[in-house]
Structure 1
Amino acid sequence: MALLRTFPSREALKRPRQGVIDLAVLVGAAALLWVVVRLWHGITVPWDETTAPSTVSTDPAELPYYAARSLLRMFAALALSVVFTLVYATAAARLRRAEKVLLPVLDILQSVPILGFLSVTITGFIALFPGSELGLECASIFAIFTSQAWNMTFAFYQSLVSQPRDLDEASRLLRLSKWQRFWRVDVPSGMIPLVWNGMMSFGGGWFFLVASEALSVNNHSYALPGIGSYVATATANSELGRVLLAIGVMIVLVVGVNVVFWRPLTAWAERFRVEDSESAQAPRSLMLDLLRRSRIPRLLGRALGWLVAPLDRMMAVFGLAEHPLRTSPARRRVGDVIFAVVVLGSVAYGLTEMATFVVDTAGIAEVGHALLLGLATFGRVIVLVVVATAIWVPVGVWIGLNPKISRLAQPVVQVLASFPANFLFPLITGVLVATGISLDWGGILLMALGAQWYILFNVIAGASAIPNDLREAAANLRLPRKLWWRKLILPAIFASYVTGGITAAGGAWNASIVAEVVSYGPTTLTATGLGAYIAQATGSGDAARILIGVAVMSLYVVGLNRLFWRRLYALAERRFSL
């Protein structure tokens, strides 16, 4: 009797290969954990405020370690920013009374420059961890967090308030729990803008890396091991070759983070696109394919499944995951009155204390001086936003609508956006000195290097999120180019552009503190503006002028947001949401 030849099933053939993939994922995770543990030992070393070094070694052999320390700070700040974004933006979008406070507070937080946060928080973090470098490390991470969180929060809030009502009605009809509503509806609907703005915020963190690692507050200078402090020390020592070497390491870091982290994340976010037809060319990532074929992520998801019930109960307590229910007009009016009295009373008390302190120290005339300096910086911000809009809106639409172009341009755009432009300030300072161009004009270019990318990234996100069926309908109708822009593209990207515009303007104000005072060796150029005013007050430890500068900058930013950007937000929510 002849023996029947049997062939292994397809699943049996896949098992050995899947085992190799699981092993590769485990080895990668173990290596990453080992690196973090090794870096943690350097973070918790003994540290004395009086003998702490104000510079770091510029030996090129130290650059890999410095780069790893900086990268760890960046991802720690990104994790904090994501948690803050999900909680704060959801509360602002879902709690009616809280929105009236949370949005103005977010405007103020966005307007406060990074040096303003450092001057207030660094002493507290050092006191929280006495005798350990961990306090200074936390201050640095918090400073990077303040350069990342606001942009992501604005983007996620905008996605929640412009969420299609069909999704809200479906959630209620399906009786989704609070956590299910948040995790299955709210987060997926805002995932594409959240990922792209997270990428942009990560780039913003690189921009302020020098200010967050080479700290100069209240007449004290501290330096943490990192690539930002390496560049600061090399710049102060006029070591142009070391600066160029650090720039090369930064490019390798940015490209590596793009390949290993952001590229897989943007490809994964495509699953949350809301449309009836699928794009012919979806973005892909080898790293994402590897993780999808591994069983490790699924096993981790099952292991963490017990967290769902506690999170659901917590969200039910605060009511964050659904639109507020209707209440009687009388009860609503009473609640609004009580809420307004508490808020206005707190604001009045704070303003009174601040005014008393300013009058007793710098004098009230200093406020008028700061307001005039603010006008100069305000003019630079307006020029930056107008020029960046004219240049990057067409480019962003072109990239967002073309998968092939996006695949090629995304790494380039990420390198340009994530690269800390202030690393180039020493080179630009030399050019300004050689050409005789005033920093009053050159400062616009320096501010643009860090702020213009907010518009580009948000427009790319908005264009890539346009449903494919709408694009096919426009193509079938053969819309003329002008009508195509006016009826499809501009309305579709309008909400994303507003988010990019408001964060670009806020980023430009924040960037002014490093763009209006630039140094290379013994040469220092100073522009007339509020950013230079705050930078000089922070360096000398002048608390009164720091307070005045931060308050005036907040006044300009909040005023611009209230009078202009918020009206555009309301227009986007009312007329241009799908």
Structure 2
Amino acid sequence: MFRIPFPIPRLGPGFRIVDIGVILSVLSILYLIVFIASGWSGDIGSIEIDLSPSNLPYYALNSIFRIIVAYILSLIFAIWYGYTANKSRLNEQIMIPLLDILQSIPVLSFLPGVTLFMIALFPGSRIGLEISSIILIFTGQVWNIAFSYYNSINTLPKELGEVANIYRLSRFQRFARLELPFSAIGLVWNSMMSVAGGWFFLMACEMFILKDKDFRLPGLGSYIHTAADKGDISHVFYGLGTMVIIIIVLDIFMWRPLVAWTQKFRFDITAGEEERESLVLDLIRRSTVLEKIFNNLTRLSEKMDRLLEIEWKGSSWLRHLFKTIVQIFIIIILIWLLVKAAFFLSGLKIDALPSILKSTGFSLLRTTAAIILAAIWTIPLGVLIGMNIRAARILQPLIQIVASIPATALFPVIILILIRIGGGLDIGSIFLMLLGTQWYILFNVIAGASSIPQELREASKVYGLHGIRKWRVLILPGIFPYLITGFITATGGAWNATIVSEYVTFAGMTLTTPGLGSSISIATASGNFRMLLANTVAMAIAVVAINRLLWKRLFIMAQEKYRLE
């Protein structure tokens, strides 16, 4: 474990220099939150994006705030969703297919309803637009984390569950002391992917056209979007450069400490040969202020344990009645929504159906090609990073940077290359899609490889496992549950990425290629909500069908055959 090679001096009893940095950091964060929130009271129509580089720090702070808030909401919701789905067979049968549907719905399909509702809720104020932007970023982050947590607690070793039963852990104790720690590695790596996904869709969430109205918010996404619309390559790279700096800072101060910290939750009997390092984590551990805070939180958690040890002892018929009422209410809401959607779609012309089917076919071919191309290189690289600490130190921050760069911002470079080698957006959209979907597989493979117990790695050395045999006996079984989770989320991510890869605007030009993504983008821009809903339903059906027919079966295999016992 990395340690600071010198003692940190104390300024007094129970107080070190590092505590000054902690206190100043907290005060700075609070000030920035107040500063950013103070701008939310402005008028929607008064926002103009100034491409002067001097405005980049302000835009960057706004984007960071939206992404972090969306991530916190995503993490809380994802853990609740995965936990609830896991605790009941009925919940699982309803919530997991629903999760398939939700993750297949692209950001732009949420855009009209969310934006119009929030603007109506806060008329004329920027608050509604800010909240809608955060919700849109949330929809691009949450499903990946939810799948990760659900997969983790479903592959929990049976003996750990039996130990929890022997010690009669309450539901809260089981969650806090067993399920959450066991899923920590996957949650952290998938959180990286989700935040990277937030940066990926930032341009679509901060600046968009809905019917004849142009909505925009101050942020890096809108800055890059505006520069790209004007064909100003230099300012596009100014925005990307700022984004890269932010990603590096987040990696140093957020992700590296979390990755190093979660190694304590590996399912190991023997200690690892080498631990992941983080200077920031070591400084945090030296802080007496944070130590006191963590101790108080620990005592609070213990009190909650005692309070929640008493399970609800209501009569069985009362519990059954409550569950039945909730289920009936949900079913009624779903039926009502389906009926409303059916009536709304009944106004669609019949000749639109062949066009939707054709678009679905084109998008299916592109997403399949993107996922295959992604798997070819992400699986070996993910295993290398997950099982080699030295490689992880070098490659992890680089991957974080590349994964977070919006593919649409790179379009000018990609289109110039395609012009030289031949091919249009038909081919270019696959590469743009690849940039948005490959990271789902990579980060899940890294999480899977990182969680392979050290004793199994040592056993493979003892038995002389190398090459293909090592992959067949150790690596693929070890990463298989995570890999399937990666494929499930990558499938949804690839279909989501069609909205920015099949419909691209640059320097006043609009380039499209046939597909559901371009159809959804065109319908959103023109305010054709019937076509928007019809294409969204087609995309949801396609993703759910793929997940049910292929990935679901492999997921069940992962649960039954490739779990640590």
Name the TM tier (shorter chain): over 0.9
| Pair 1:39-2:36 in alignment | yes
CA contact 2:8–2:17 (8 Å) conserved in 1:
no
Q: 2:220, 2:325 → 1: CA distance?
A: 50
- Equivalent residue for 1:230? 223
**Amino acid of the residue matched to residue 394 of structure 1?**
P
- Equivalent residue for 1:489? 475
| Pair 1:566-2:552 in alignment | yes
Q: 1:148, 1:313 → 2: CA distance?
A: 33
- Equivalent residue for 2:461? 475
CA contact 1:217–1:541 (8 Å) conserved in 2:
yes
Task: Quickly say closer, same or farther: Cα 1:467–1:545, change in 2 above 3 A.
Answer: same
| Pair 1:285-2:278 in alignment | yes
Task: Quickly say closer, same or farther: Cα 1:470–1:243, change in 2 above 3 A.
Answer: same
CA contact 2:9–2:17 (8 Å) conserved in 1:
no
Give the superposition deviation at 1:567. Answer: 0.7
Q: 1:11, 1:412 → 2: CA distance?
A: 31
CA contact 1:179–1:308 (8 Å) conserved in 2:
no
Give the superposition deviation at 1:216. Answer: 1.5
Give the superposition deviation at 1:479. Answer: 1.9
Q: 2:117, 2:306 → 1: CA distance?
A: 34
Give the superposition deviation at 1:296. Answer: 2.1
Unaligned ranges ≥5, structure 2: 1-5
- Equivalent residue for 2:338? 351
Q: 1:312, 1:397 → 2: CA distance?
A: 41
| Pair 1:86-2:72 in alignment | no
Output one character per residue of 1:397-442: Cα deviation in whole Å (capped at 9) or x when no partner.
Answer: 1111111111111111111112222211233234435554121111
Q: 1:390, 1:364 → 2: CA distance?
A: 41
Task: Quickly say closer, same or farther: Cα 1:138–1:337, change in 2 above 3 A.
Answer: closer
Task: Quickly say closer, same or farther: Cα 1:469–1:306, change in 2 above 3 A.
Answer: closer
Output one character per residue of 1:186-236: Cα deviation in whole Å (capped at 9) or x when no partner.
Answer: 100000000000001110000000000002223211110001000111111
- Equivalent residue for 2:3? none
Percent identity, aligned pairs only, is 38
Task: Quickly say closer, same or farther: Cα 1:75–1:318, change in 2 above 3 A.
Answer: farther
- Equivalent residue for 1:20? 17
Task: Give the match's secondary structure for 1:452.
Answer: helix
Task: Compute the TM-score of the two structures, normalised by the length of structure 1.
Answer: 0.90
Q: 2:454, 2:98 → 1: CA distance?
A: 37
- Equivalent residue for 1:139? 132
Task: Quickly say closer, same or farther: Cα 1:318–1:114, change in 2 above 3 A.
Answer: farther
Alignment equivalent of 2:245, drawn from 252, 266, 277: 252
Output one character per residue of 1:108-148: Cα deviation in whole Å (capped at 9) or x when no partner.
Answer: 11001000111111111112223421110000111111111
CA contact 2:208–2:214 (8 Å) conserved in 1:
yes
Output one character per residue of 1:368-411: Cα deviation in whole Å (capped at 9) or x when no partner.
Answer: 32122011101111111112112111111111111111111111
**Amino acid of the residue matched to residue 73 of structure 1?**
R
Task: Quickly say closer, same or farther: Cα 1:371–1:337, change in 2 above 3 A.
Answer: farther
**Amino acid of the residue matched to residue 399 of structure 2?**
V
Q: 2:309, 2:99 → 1: CA distance?
A: 22
Task: Quickly say closer, same or farther: Cα 1:487–1:336, change in 2 above 3 A.
Answer: farther
Q: 1:65, 1:317 → 2: CA distance?
A: 49
Task: Give the match's secondary structure for 1:56.
Answer: coil
Task: Quickly say closer, same or farther: Cα 1:471–1:15, change in 2 above 3 A.
Answer: farther
Task: Quickly say closer, same or farther: Cα 1:23–1:13, change in 2 above 3 A.
Answer: closer
Q: 1:183, 1:124 → 2: CA distance?
A: 36
Give the superposition deviation at 1:239. Answer: 1.1
Task: Quickly say closer, same or farther: Cα 1:522–1:21, change in 2 above 3 A.
Answer: closer
Give the superposition deviation at 1:104. Answer: 1.0
Task: Quickly say closer, same or farther: Cα 1:217–1:308, change in 2 above 3 A.
Answer: farther
Q: 1:192, 1:390 → 2: CA distance?
A: 23
| Pair 1:454-2:440 in alignment | yes
Q: 2:32, 2:168 → 1: CA distance?
A: 45
CA contact 1:97–1:336 (8 Å) conserved in 2:
no
* Pairs within 5 Å for 1:67-106: 67-106=60-99
Give the superposition deviation at 1:306. Answer: 4.1
Task: Quickly say closer, same or farther: Cα 1:314–1:107, change in 2 above 3 A.
Answer: farther
Q: 2:505, 2:416 → 1: CA distance?
A: 9
* Pairs within 5 Å for 1:172-321: 172-304=165-297, 305-306=299-300
Unaligned ranges ≥5, structure 1: 1-9, 320-326
Q: How many residues align?
A: 554
Q: 2:239, 2:447 → 1: CA distance?
A: 30
Q: 1:503, 1:514 → 2: CA distance?
A: 17
Give the superposition deviation at 1:356. Answer: 2.3
Q: 1:37, 1:337 → 2: CA distance?
A: 44
CA contact 2:520–2:535 (8 Å) conserved in 1:
yes
Q: 1:212, 1:440 → 2: CA distance?
A: 25
Task: Give the match's secondary structure for 2:511.
Answer: strand
Task: Give the match's secondary structure for 2:16.
Answer: helix
Output one character per residue of 1:51-106: Cα deviation in whole Å (capped at 9) or x when no partner.
Answer: 344x5111111011001110111100110011001100000111221111110111
- Equivalent residue for 1:509? 495
Q: 1:365, 1:427 → 2: CA distance?
A: 38
- Equivalent residue for 2:106? 113
- Equivalent residue for 2:505? 519
**Amino acid of the residue matched to residue 125 of structure 2?**
S
Alignment equivalent of 2:536, drawn from 518, 531, 550: 550
CA contact 1:429–1:519 (8 Å) conserved in 2:
no
Q: 1:311, 1:548 → 2: CA distance?
A: 48
Output one character per residue of 1:157-183: Cα deviation in whole Å (capped at 9) or x when no partner.
Answer: 000110011111111111222221111
Alignment equivalent of 1:404, drawn from 370, 377, 390: 390
CA contact 1:374–1:530 (8 Å) conserved in 2:
yes
CA contact 2:15–2:289 (8 Å) conserved in 1:
no
Per mean C-alpha deviation after superposition, the further-off stretch among 130-139 and 111-120 is 130-139
Q: 1:350, 1:368 → 2: CA distance?
A: 25
CA RMSD of aligned residues (A): 2.7
Task: Quickly say closer, same or farther: Cα 1:172–1:66, change in 2 above 3 A.
Answer: same
Task: Give the match's secondary structure for 1:176.
Answer: coil
**Amino acid of the residue matched to residue 133 of structure 1?**
R
CA contact 1:426–1:518 (8 Å) conserved in 2:
no
Task: Quickly say closer, same or farther: Cα 1:12–1:364, change in 2 above 3 A.
Answer: closer
Output one character per residue of 1:257-283: Cα deviation in whole Å (capped at 9) or x when no partner.
Answer: 111111111111111111011112101
Give the superposition deviation at 1:250. Answer: 1.2
Task: Quickly say closer, same or farther: Cα 1:337–1:318, change in 2 above 3 A.
Answer: closer
